[in-house]
Structure 1
Amino acid sequence: MHPVIEIIQANSALLILWGALLIHFILPIPRNAHPVTLWHKFAEILAEKVNGPNSFSQKGISGAMAWGLMIIPALMLLIAFRSLVWQPEFYDLALLLLALGWRGQTQLTSGLIKALATEDKPTARQLLSETNNRQTETLSIVGLGKAGAETLIVGQARQVISVMFWYGVAGGCGAFIFRLIAELNRAWSPSQPACYPFGITSARVLTLLEMIPVILFTCLLLPGRQPGQIWQQSRMQAAIWPSFGPGWLLATVGNKLNLSLGGPAIYEGKKSVRTKIGGRVVPSALHLSQTQRLLNQRTFIWILGQSLITLLMLQVIR
């Protein structure tokens, strides 16, 4: 047997990664029945109970305690169940499969492209409302294009790249707990007036956990035409964006494809003033397709790179 094949067969972590990606696209999990969706709903119910009309500091403390109440027991259960299963490899495969959201991103993008191409604003608004915290009922075609591009870029980094990164670091438990933390941040996002400062702890933890994969993915996005100029523009724009990870991603993709991103957004009836980043072209159906192609190309490179690193580590260990 070829030595490379022997190495692959002996490396269960690599087989789990490839197997999860394959099964993820062949056997999709319905969104309404997905554990992450149920987790999101439970987080909203908990926030309604403990995020009361308290002082600023008390809301922040309540948010930190609620975050611990959600994440710590979940992490303990995930670790405990791993020691009880017959084959830990299948357990890691199941957790990674549940953590990945690449197919959902692809379906969202396809729906948005069709809706924007025909100027079907109700459909586009409905699609974005299911995965976005901002109000979409009054978004124009221009606003829908921007919101769609932003959702696609950030979602790809969080639901695919960061999930695979944490799988490589901490196995299936690491990948799934990261996805739960990311979903908790979306449920309690401080950008929503009702969740500020309740969701600050959740947002800060997510920023810390996604920092390394976001930096690495940003470096993958840079190669091409004028990488030095894109880097300089992105560095200046990301510095004034509210959050580290999304700021770098949106600025890099926006400048690379000359897309106009950012700008004001409405959350729970209140207007949030955000700076404009990227280029000058308003995203349309064509630009969403270009964005998806760019992100998918770089994601495949990430998968190959992570697989190669895993193989090299196996050789070093041996």
Structure 2
Amino acid sequence: MQPETLAPLYTLQQLLQHPWLQQPLLLWLVIVLSSLLPLPASYQPLVLFRILASRLASRVNKTAYPSAQLKLSGSLAAVIAIAPWLLLAWAFTLLSQMPQLWHSLLLYLCLDWQTVRQHALQIQASLEKQQLSLARDQLQPLVLREVRLMSEVGVSKACLESLLFRLATQWTSVLLWFLAAGVEGAIAYRLLQELQQQWNPKQSQFQHFGKPVAAIVAVLNWPGMLLTGTVLALLVSLRQSRQYLKFASDGYFSFPARWLLAAGAAALNRNLAGPVYYQGQKIRRVRIGPALEPKAADISLLLKLCRQYQVGVWLLLSSYLGLGLLASWPS
């Protein structure tokens, strides 16, 4: 084989071994794979983790205990739930002859955006067919708030907010923590996020038990929310996003969450947030955005914007890898 033929293979090997290029290349490949071959929901291993988390909480979350003891129990339960999976990932990395392939598979399993996308499209289809009751049932797995008395506007708004937050946390943040802390960091973040959803302190039975995990996840979510909100604002209207953010300070949402919702409201030209009900209790939240209320068609519009955002991230990675390829090409 001629040296000219070997050069591309040699360069690919360099990319896989280069400390500054290996992680972006794996990200690039996994983004393509998860878009072309999304994992069916029935095969998603995170479903098993949710079941295990629920059973673990039922054993150690005794609401009669003092709040301090419940917080300690929640912290220890999180370690028990996550540590075995991290050790398993680390052990397979040591034993594998192709650790990059193993890391790619694990990252692929952590990205669950296509399932959320299909779920949102089902909700939109039900609303457009005037099947409000069915749309409420389809929405329930995506949110904690009560859906029983939601109107079409309420279902549409809740679905839009869920899409925004899941894009920022289950897609962007997973990629960022993979870049920052490797596959173990991505797994730890993704599992912590699942625990936060299962043990959310907005539910009375997890008011104290779920607080430690919720506090950690809230901090870990910051980079992904800020990046997602900023890119969406730049894609549509940075000035409008900043204006909505200015009038969205009520103490309920963190700054990254307010910025993400403000950018989403500007991108859709629709009102987001507002009062919600959790377990019969009304929670007052500031409304963010214009006076126009969301409708079912806005769900597919937001999904298109999310797609543009994801393609933009992929193109950015492509550019970075292209520059790395040129820099490492044999002279």
* Same fold, TM-score > 0.5, yes or no: yes
TM alignment of 1:24-35, pairs within 5 A: 24-35=34-45
**1:49 aligned partner:** 59
TM alignment of 1:54-73, pairs within 5 A: 54-73=65-84
CA distance in 1, matches of 2:186, 2:313: 16
Contact 1:134 1:266 in 2 (8 A): yes
Q: Which runs of 5+ in 2 are unaligned?
A: 17-21
1:129 pairs with 2:133: no
User: How many residue pairs are counted as aligned between the two chains?
Assistant: 318
**1:289 aligned partner:** 300
Mean CA deviation greater in 16-25 or 48-57? 16-25
**2:31 aligned partner:** 21
Q: Provide, for residues 40-63 of structure 1, a one-character-per-residue CA deviation record: whole Å limited to 9, x for no partner.
A: 111111111111122222222221
**2:202 aligned partner:** 191
DSSP-derived class of the 2:234 partner: coil
Contact 1:79 1:173 in 2 (8 A): yes
Change (3 A) 1:238 1:251: farther
Change (3 A) 1:41 1:287: same
Change (3 A) 1:183 1:312: farther
Q: Choose which of 93, 97, 100 in structure 1 pairs with 2:111.
A: 100
**1:251 aligned partner:** 262
**2:15 aligned partner:** 11
The one-letter code sitting in structure 1 at the alignment partner of 2:121 is S
Contact 1:257 1:279 in 2 (8 A): no
Change (3 A) 1:68 1:249: same
Shift of 1:171: 2.9
RMSD: 2.7
Shift of 1:220: 0.9
Change (3 A) 1:226 1:88: closer
**1:171 aligned partner:** 182
Q: Provide, for residues 200-256 of structure 1, a one-character-per-residue CA deviation record: whole Å limited to 9, x for no partner.
A: 111121122221222222221112565234214215425633344433211221133
The one-letter code sitting in structure 1 at the alignment partner of 2:287 is K
The one-letter code sitting in structure 2 at the alignment partner of 1:11 is L
Shift of 1:314: 7.5
**1:91 aligned partner:** 102
Report the TM-score, using the length of structure 2 for normalisation: 0.86
Contact 1:7 1:311 in 2 (8 A): no
The one-letter code sitting in structure 2 at the alignment partner of 1:117 is E
CA distance in 2, matches of 1:267, 1:189: 11
Change (3 A) 1:51 1:123: same
Shift of 1:103: 0.9
Report the TM-score, using the length of structure 1 for normalisation: 0.89
The one-letter code sitting in structure 1 at the alignment partner of 2:233 is L
Change (3 A) 1:259 1:163: same
DSSP-derived class of the 1:48 partner: helix
Change (3 A) 1:137 1:8: farther
**1:237 aligned partner:** 248
Change (3 A) 1:306 1:18: closer
DSSP-derived class of the 1:237 partner: coil
**1:275 aligned partner:** 286
DSSP-derived class of the 2:201 partner: coil
Mean CA deviation greater in 104-113 or 139-148? 104-113
Q: Which runs of 5+ in 1 are unaligned?
A: none
Shift of 1:28: 3.3
Q: Provide, for residues 268-304 of structure 1, a one-character-per-residue CA deviation record: whole Å limited to 9, x for no partner.
A: 3333332222222221122112211122212221222
CA distance in 2, matches of 1:145, 1:287: 8
**2:47 aligned partner:** 37
